[in-house]
Structure 1
Amino acid sequence: MHIDLQGKRALVTASSGGIGFAIAKGLLATGAEVILNGRNESSLSKAKDSLLAEFSSATLSTVAADLGSAEGCAALIKAVPKVDILVNNAGIYGPEDFFETDDDTWARYWQTNVMSGVRLSRAYLPTMQENGWGRVVFISSESARNIPADMIHYGVSKTAQLSLSRGLAKRVAGSGVTVNSVLPGPTLSDGFEAMFADEAEKTGKSVEELGAEFVMAHRASSVIQRPATTAEVANMVVYVCSQQASATSGAALRVDGGVVDDIV
């Protein structure tokens, strides 16, 4: 299958590293123009240089904006008024006991994980509808369906993304625009690797080995019995953004290695 997105403009939020960076790289490989977003100018510049070293003729730009606030989203929308592809990857996570999670924490997760996607989708979907083509993808999580007891606030925000993407898909039905969610499971992202860096040095084991041990200890239902790579997650996202995925909309597409133990 050859995916060709030449002439399409894609915005990938939180794309200076991790899954977002891998998605940006995958979209560049299809010929799409890509806008990177993150909170830090320095990390965005490094990400841009890294991608241009591989895709020297690519059209690639950056916009620094913190999407955890309405003002940050507005700044990004002002800098990038129109896109054909929107990948809502911005998100925060972290364990915290339910009884110690205060209102401010709930509000911070809601603003970043949910409202950033609401605001950007509200801004970009109308033009996609007018053009008769567009792709919106929410990067949710297997935690949307398999709510972690130690991160209930995070799980709730990820479940909300599934409702949002399904509702938007129905709202733009018949327009040629698709809206979907992609649900990664444990993934060898920058944060995941950093979490195991000290243990890897102490034990001499690779991060991949330690990741597999973590998965079997904490996500024993995994079918692949290891974390996914960021490229494996990106592959699903790139397909969903493609011309070939025109009949896929309103879906929650899992790249969780089979962690969620059901057949639907």
Structure 2
Amino acid sequence: MELNLEGRTALVTGSTQGIGAAIALGLARAGARVGVNGRSRSRVEEAVAHLAVDDPRAQFVPVVADLATEEGTEQAVAALPDVDILVNNLGIFGAQPALEITDDEWRRYFEVNVLAAVRLTRAYLPGMKERGWGRIQYIASDSAVVIPAEMIHYGVSKTALLAVGRGFAKEAAGTGVTVNSVIAGPTHTGGVEDFVYELVDRELPWDEAQRVFMREHRPQSLLQRLIEPEEIANLVVYLSSDQASATTGGAVRVDGGYVDSILP
């Protein structure tokens, strides 16, 4: 199956590292011009340079903006006025006892993990509808379905994203624009390594720490290992393609069998 995105422009939020960077590279390798987003100009430029080494033919556009703010959304739209593929990857997470999560933390998680994606969807969906083609995706998490006791504020924000995706899919009905959520399972990134070591012995070597984490904190994973970012990116690239034209309004899983359900 050839996934050809030549002539398409994509924006991947929070894409200077981890899953976002892998998605940006995957879309670029398929031929799309890709906006790489982060809050710091130096981090964005460093990420673009690193991604260009992986594929010198790829086209990347630096998009320096704090998308957790309305001003940041305006800056992103100024950098990329017309976007065909919007991948809302930006998100924050962290462990915190449920009864110690303050109102300010709840608001911060909602602003970053939910409202940032809603604002960009409002900005770009009208143009996609007018052109009769578009792809919008929200990178959710298994935590949206299996709320983790150690970070319920994160889980709730990702549950909200599933509803946001389904709702905007209805708004885009019959226009040639598809809107989907991607339920990503426990994934191997630098941030997740830090998170793992918050929950297991920091003296353990990484391979052993990962196994302990999966066994003690994510035992329902059928994959029994952390997912690599490129594996998430593969699904996102497919959903961004013409071949995925009949998939919309869905919550598509790339979770290593973590969610114990035969339905999404």
TM-score range for the pair, normalised by the shorter chain length: over 0.9
CA contact (8 A) 2:94 2:154 kept: yes
1:70 Cα deviation from its structure 2 partner? 1.5
Amino acid at match of 1:36: V
Q: 1:208 to 1:11 in 2, by over 3 A?
A: farther
Deviations along 1:21-75, whole A, 9 cap, x unmatched? 0000100110110010011222211111111113223221111111111222222
Paired residues for 1:1-264 under 5 Å: 1-195=1-195, 202-203=203-204, 205=205, 207-264=206-263
Aligned-CA RMSD value: 1.8
Q: Distance in 2 between matches of 1:240 and 1:220?
A: 29
- Local SS of the residue matching 2:215: helix
Q: Distance in 2 between matches of 1:135 and 1:216?
A: 36
- 66-75 or 245-254, which moves further after superposition? 66-75
- Local SS of the residue matching 1:210: helix
CA contact (8 A) 2:197 2:209 kept: no
CA contact (8 A) 1:15 1:21 kept: yes
Amino acid at match of 1:148: P
Q: Distance in 2 between matches of 1:201 and 1:103?
A: 30
Q: Distance in 2 between matches of 1:257 and 1:208?
A: 18
1:185 Cα deviation from its structure 2 partner? 1.3
State TM-score, norm by structure 1: 0.94
- Local SS of the residue matching 2:173: coil
Amino acid at match of 1:216: R
Which consecutive unaligned segments of at least 5 residues does structure 1 have?
Answer: none
Deviations along 1:111-147, whole A, 9 cap, x unmatched? 1111011100000001101111000000010000001
1:201 Cα deviation from its structure 2 partner? 8.9
Q: 1:231 to 1:44 in 2, by over 3 A?
A: same
Q: Distance in 2 between matches of 1:200 and 1:22?
A: 29
Q: 1:133 to 1:232 in 2, by over 3 A?
A: same
State TM-score, norm by structure 2: 0.94
Q: Distance in 2 between matches of 1:93 and 1:233?
A: 18
CA contact (8 A) 1:216 1:226 kept: no
CA contact (8 A) 1:106 1:153 kept: yes
CA contact (8 A) 1:114 1:160 kept: yes
- Local SS of the residue matching 2:236: helix
Which consecutive unaligned segments of at least 5 residues does structure 2 have?
Answer: none
Q: Distance in 2 between matches of 1:192 and 1:144?
A: 17
Amino acid at match of 1:14: G
Q: 1:195 to 1:141 in 2, by over 3 A?
A: closer
- Local SS of the residue matching 2:68: coil
- Local SS of the residue matching 2:248: coil
Q: 1:208 to 1:248 in 2, by over 3 A?
A: farther
- Local SS of the residue matching 1:138: strand
Percentage of pairs with the same residue: 50
Q: How many residues align?
A: 262
- Local SS of the residue matching 2:231: helix
Amino acid at match of 1:16: T
